């Protein structure tokens, strides 16, 4: 039964990975930006929550109500200024700029908060769980995060396919020049996409802070898992990102079941296996772009 439990825990970890990775996928899919600061953004969201919770007297679990809007606005502004300016040069510049942002963020956080770990204390909620059998334990927190991930991805999918703004996002992602030619202000649409991406990474950062400790330097390690989720699932597919996150999560938990030292390694092995067999990911387009 412990194997079953490993798979179930993996699925729930996968929900978190997907929540974390969908913003990365969106930035790449729409603007072609590979955001190397994505992991650091999640860490910053954790620190923002740590700072704001005492000020606003909100319960920690509701801190996202404040952090997510701040991140959405921040994402829009950053896209319209620094990221757009680097996109105007060439794609390679965005890679350097986001790498630079990552370094700056880490060092600024170290300066402001020291290297000690922090976490978002949700008290006894962390321990609440549901035990259908003696060997399977479902943590409420993990279930909620998985639920949030599914809802966020579903809402994002509906937004893209059913709304006129979502249609504009698809248009600029497909052909920015042609979109401009029919009157689309693509910079504004890029800003909206960045706002959404930042909002989702804020949610992921808060979830992460509730699960575990974070420190100024934990961003890049998280970024790796987000990358793996996106690539396993297939670039450009939101549901693919969810499946990618779950495949990665399950692989890690099964690896840990074999030997606790194999947790991260097992994830990397599955990632490489998927790359070897289906280079475009499980749900990626099979035809050349």
Catalog residues that contact other proteins under the rule CB under 8 A: 164, 167-168, 170-171, 174-175, 177-186
For other proteins, the closer CB: 61 or 171: 171
Q: Could you tell me how far CA 2 lies from the centroid of its own chain?
A: 28
Judged by CB, which is closer to other proteins: 188, or 268? Answer: 188
The nearest distance, CB 174 to other proteins, in angstroms, is 5
CB of 92 to other proteins, least distance (A): 22
Q: How far is the CB of 178 from other proteins (least distance, A)?
A: 4
CA 217 – CA 214 distance, rounded (Å): 8
Cβ atoms of 139 and 6 within 8 Å: the answer is no
The dihedrals phi and psi of 229, each to the nearest 5 degrees, come to -60, -45
Half-sphere exposure of 48 (CA within 13 A, CB side): 25
- Nearest CB to other proteins, comparing residues 170 and 268: 170
Question: Least Å distance between CB 22 and other proteins?
Answer: 19
Q: What number of CA atoms fall less than 13 Å from residue 187's CA on the CB side? A: 12
Q: How far is the CB of 184 from other proteins (least distance, A)?
A: 5
Smallest gap from residue 187 Cβ to other proteins (A)? 9
- Choice between 92 and 167, CB closer to other proteins: 167
- Cβ proximity to other proteins: between 155 and 178 the closer is 178
Using alpha carbons only, give the angle 92, 282, 147 rounded to the nearest 5 degrees: 95
Nearer to other proteins, 133 or 164 (CB): 164
Cα(225)–Cα(232) distance, integer angstroms: 10
In angstroms, the CA 55 to CA 68 distance is 16
CA 161 to the chain's CA centroid: 21
Residue owning tokens 């908060």: 113
């Amino acid at each position: 039964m412990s194997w079953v439990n490993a798979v179930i825990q993996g699925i729930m970890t996968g929900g978190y990975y997907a929540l974390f990775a969908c913003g990365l996928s969106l930035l790449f899919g729409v603007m072609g930006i590979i955001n190397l600061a994505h992991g650091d953004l999640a860490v910053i969201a954790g620190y923002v929550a740590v700072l704001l919770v005492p000020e606003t007297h909100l319960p920690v679990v509701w801190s996202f109500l404040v952090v997510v809007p701040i991140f959405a606005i921040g994402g829009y502004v950053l896209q319209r200024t620094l990221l757009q300016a680097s996109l105007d040069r060439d794609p390679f510049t965005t890679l350097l700029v986001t790498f630079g942002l990552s370094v700056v963020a880490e060092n600024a956080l170290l300066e402001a908060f020291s290297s000690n770990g922090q976490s978002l204390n949700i008290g006894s909620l962390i321990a609440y769980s549901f035990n259908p059998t003696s060997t399977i334990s479902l943590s409420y927190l993990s279930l909620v995060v998985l639920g949030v991930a599914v809802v966020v991805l579903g809402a994002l999918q509906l937004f893209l396919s059913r709304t006129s703004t979502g249609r504009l996002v698809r248009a600029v992602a497909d052909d920015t020049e042609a979109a401009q030619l029919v009157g689309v202000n693509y910079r504004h649409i890029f800003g909206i996409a960045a706002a959404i991406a930042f909002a989702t990474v804020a949610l992921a950062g808060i979830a992460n802070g509730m699960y575990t400790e974070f420190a100024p330097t934990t961003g890049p390690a998280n970024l790796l898992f987000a990358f793996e989720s996106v690539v396993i699932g297939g670039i450009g597919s939101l549901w693919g990102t969810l499946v990618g996150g779950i495949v990665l999560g399950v692989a890690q938990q099964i690896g840990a079941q074999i030997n606790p030292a194999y947790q991260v390694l097992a994830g990397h092995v599955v990632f490489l296996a998927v790359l070897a067999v289906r280079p475009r990911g499980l749900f990626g387009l099979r035809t050349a772009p």
